[in-house]
């Protein structure tokens, strides 16, 4: 297959030398981890970012250079961004260097700098997501962030929470568990088939809302079908009715351009280890400024003050989580640097381009049923397909054992491409899939 790269939204290919210089600051790789590049020079990052934003087009070779910023074994094709992503060299080295610094001196004096590094990550993350610093809490993952909202909202018997039935258990079963204790009702919205329009989905949600509805909670993009919900429209609809909105952004955080103020949700969650390409055990919890005071924290520990002090801290009140991985928290800011170097709009366009090519190829394989919608407004980077009457679990396993292709068995067979993938890898995946279904 020969896929043409759109030339109107990407950048020209820089030389490998200049590209790597932007990531490494010209320093040599660490001998402990060959291939890890130093990335501490903000000037170098800025210089490369400037050259990218003033350019017009990019070729497939540019994305090959991007791929080289990750440590992925040559024979493997990683297509599981919905679950876990590798981090680029500069993020991995940041984690390594700060961990090494901490292990060499665990004194209070040496660790005093971590408060400032946390705030630096918060500042960068807030700007990246279109929010204020006081609205951002850096927690451990989407699961924790979701549960903070589930447990933190004031609800009572007789209230109603409307959720999407394709939500992750932390934004689905977690509501059931709390409802069993308090006595409110959980109502599930279900899509009986792959939706054909935004209005179709809005109609289903609209019909589920009643005068008792206090919360509307859904997943921005489903990890089980790949369907993209009309989040902006749902937020507007709920706000008009005085309903709190919580969005699980695990599959859109850094995969799609998301300005949270413009999106209009009351809260939003995300994990750094997925599409964000960041460190493990770090995540995002955004709560709109006007809503922060009404959410109770799930964990109260060191750093909790009286009501006035806590209110002044904004979303920071959700960060009294005990000892943190300070290296991971700091590397959140470094990840934002990496993403900004490439550009969020380019990243989204690339993910969509790879996903579109994957869907196009899959639909030509006999017996393949694409579960994910093909239209851009109804889908993003998550691609789910199924082979009816066949052992989809075995197909998933054989793709990895025989061809080194790592997907997921979620919903059938799930592929989630990211910027470390190439068009050549998409072609190889489609060819391997066509071969595997003849063997299983």
CA atoms in the 13 A half-sphere facing the CB of 197: 3
How sure is the predictor about 19, in pLDDT bands with cuts at 50, 70 and 90?
very low
pTM assigned to the model: 0.89
Distances (CA, A) of 66 to 2, 348, 428: 20, 14, 19
Q: Tell me if domain 115-336 and domain 346-439 are identical in fold.
A: no
Confidence of residue 14 (pLDDT cuts 50, 70, 90): very low
pLDDT of residue 307: 57
Ordered by start, the domain boundaries in the chain are 115-336, 346-439
Confidence at residue 189, expressed as pLDDT on a 0 to 100 scale:
97
Distance in angstroms (rounded) separating the CA atoms of residues 308 and 297: 15
Q: pLDDT-derived band of residue 304, with 50, 70 and 90 as boundaries? A: confident
Query: Does the domain at residues 346-439 carry the CATH identifier 3.90.1150.10?
Result: yes
Which of residues 192 and 346 earns the better pLDDT score? 346
Report how far Cα 106 is from the mean position of its chain's Cα atoms.
Answer: 32
Mean pLDDT calculated for residue range 186-199: 91
The predicted-structure confidence for 238-291, as pLDDT tens digits, reads as follows 999 999 999 999 999 999 999 999 999 999 999 999 999 999 999 999 999 999
CATH of domain 115-336: 3.40.640.10
pLDDT at 256: 98
DSSP 59-111: -HHHHHHHHTTB---TT-EE-BTTT--PPBHHHHHHHHHHHHHHHH---HHHH
Q: Give the separation between CA 42 and CA 100, rounded to whole angstroms.
A: 21
Tell me what the mean pLDDT of segment 2-6 comes to. 41
Tell me which of 31-45, 64-78, 324-338 is least confident: 31-45
Q: Six-digit token pair at 117?
A: 């590094």
Residue 10 clears pLDDT 60, i.e. is over it: no
- What are the tens digits of pLDDT across the range 193-221? 789 999 999 999 999 999 999 999 999 99
| pLDDT over 50 (residue 32) | no
Residues 95-108: what's their mean pLDDT? 97
């Amino acid at each position: 297959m020969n896929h043409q790269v759109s030339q109107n939204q990407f950048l020209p290919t820089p030389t490998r030398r200049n590209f790597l210089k932007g990531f490494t600051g010209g320093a040599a790789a660490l001998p402990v981890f060959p291939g890890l590049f130093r990335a501490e020079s903000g000037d170098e990052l800025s210089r490369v970012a400037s050259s990218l934003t003033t350019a017009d087009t990019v070729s497939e070779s540019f994305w090959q250079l991007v791929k080289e910023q990750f440590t992925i074994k040559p024979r493997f094709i990683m297509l599981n961004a919905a679950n876990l992503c590798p981090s680029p060299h500069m993020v991995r080295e940041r984690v390594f260097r700060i961990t090494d610094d901490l292990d060499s001196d665990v004194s209070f004096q040496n660790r005093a700098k971590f408060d400032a590094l946390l705030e630096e990550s918060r500042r960068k993350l807030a700007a990246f997501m279109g929010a204020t610093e006081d609205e951002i809490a850096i927690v451990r993952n989407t699961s924790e962030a979701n549960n903070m909202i589930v447990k933190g909202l004031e609800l009572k018997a007789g209230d109603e929470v409307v959720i999407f039935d394709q939500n992750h258990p932390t934004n689905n079963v977690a509501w059931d568990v709390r409802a069993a204790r308090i006595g409110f009702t959980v109502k599930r919205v279900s899509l009986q088939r792959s939706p054909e329009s935004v209005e179709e989905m809005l109609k289903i949600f609209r019909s589920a809302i009643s005068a008792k509805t206090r919360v509307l909670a859904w997943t921005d993009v489903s990890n089980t079908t790949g369907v993209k919900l009309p989040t902006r429209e749902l937020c507007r609809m709920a706000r008009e009715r005085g309903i709190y909105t919580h969005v699980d952004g695990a599959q859109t955080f850094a995969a799609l351009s998301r300005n949270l103020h413009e999106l209009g949700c009351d809260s939003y969650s995300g994990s750094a280890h997925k599409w964000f390409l960041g460190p493990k055990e770090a995540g995002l919890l955004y709560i709109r400024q006007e809503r922060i005071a009404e959410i109770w924290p799930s964990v109260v520990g060191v750093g909790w003050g009286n009501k006035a002090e806590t209110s002044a801290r904004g979303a920071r009140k959700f960060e009294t989580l005990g000892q943190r991985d300070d290296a991971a928290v700091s590397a959140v800011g470094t990840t934002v640097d990496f993403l900004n170097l490439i550009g969020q709009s380019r990243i989204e366009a690339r993910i969509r381009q790879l996903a579109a090519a994957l869907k196009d190829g899959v639909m030509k394989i006999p017996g393949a049923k694409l579960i994910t919608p093909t239209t851009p407004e109804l889908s993003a980077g998550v691609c789910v397909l199924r082979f009816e009457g066949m052992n989809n679990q075995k197909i998933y396993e054989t793709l990895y054992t025989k061809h080194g292709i790592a997907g997921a068995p979620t919903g059938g067979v799930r592929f989630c491409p990211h910027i470390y993938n190439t068009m050549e890898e998409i072609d190889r995946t489609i060819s391997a899939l066509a071969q595997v279904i003849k063997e299983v």
